[in-house]
Chains A and B, each alone.
Chain A
Amino acid sequence: GESVGLHLPTLSVQEGDNSIINCAYSNSASDYFIWYKQESGKGPQFIIDIRSNMDKRQGQRVTVLLNKTVKHLSLQIAATQPGDSAVYFCAEPKGLNQGGKLIFGQGTELSVKP
């Protein structure tokens, strides 16, 4: 859901380690989620998405897990690199009758130490 006004939590990892970024949602009817990466001073970039009929989806170095029972999804980044340092958001598009507007979650700031 929306998280206006909340400051971003931070995650600091060592280069080469795996990173896990979490996101909770409130609507059990939600059926599609997207992860975005936002570098400092830029707009968000699409990373990966997942539908509710899946519990796992893999991309290049990234995996998204969806647990519908507890309404939680996570983004796992393998072998984290300095270039992965950014803010990561989960987002959910609303219905097309609402223009498919994207609502962003709280976000997590990932800092990768060399």
Chain B
Amino acid sequence: GAVVSQHPSRVICKSGTSVKIECRSLDFQATTMFWYRQFPKQSLMLMATSNEGSKATYEQGVEKDKFLINHASLTLSTLTVTSAHPEDSSFYICSARPGAWRGGYGYTFGSGTRLTVV
């Protein structure tokens, strides 16, 4: 089946620094990638949608200058949390979908990144 690799799985950074999270589709071309944030005991909140070679589309309330998303190839998207603060501590999850519509089965999720800002 389709596999999405997300790294790192855990990261601790100091307040004010930037952190980059990578999301790779290993065995398919991910035309569209999504980034979610999930706080403890809560649902997944969509942050942005990105298509390869295009600028990401951010959801309302998500600061695009703080959460930089790059989708430069059909197998790689990155999320950079800039000038991180403790309130950015969360579980970040990426999802990838191929160009052809495959319904719910077509969405493959990474294993998530636990970000802790100290």
Contacts and interface: CB of A to CB of B under 8 A. Distances in A.
A43 B32 contact: no
Given A100-B101, A101-B34, A44 B43 contact: no
A49 B112 contact: no
Interface size class of B (residues with CB under 8 A): 20 to 34
Nearest to B40: A7
B97 to A, nearest CB: 6
Contacts of B111: 41-43
Nearest to B4: A43
Given A43-B93, A43-B109, A100-B32, A3 B104 contact: no
A98 B91 CA distance: 24
Contacts of A5: 42
A103 B46 contact: yes
B25 interface: no
A73 to B, nearest CB: 13
A46 B45 contact: no
Interface in B43-84: 43-46, 49, 51, 57
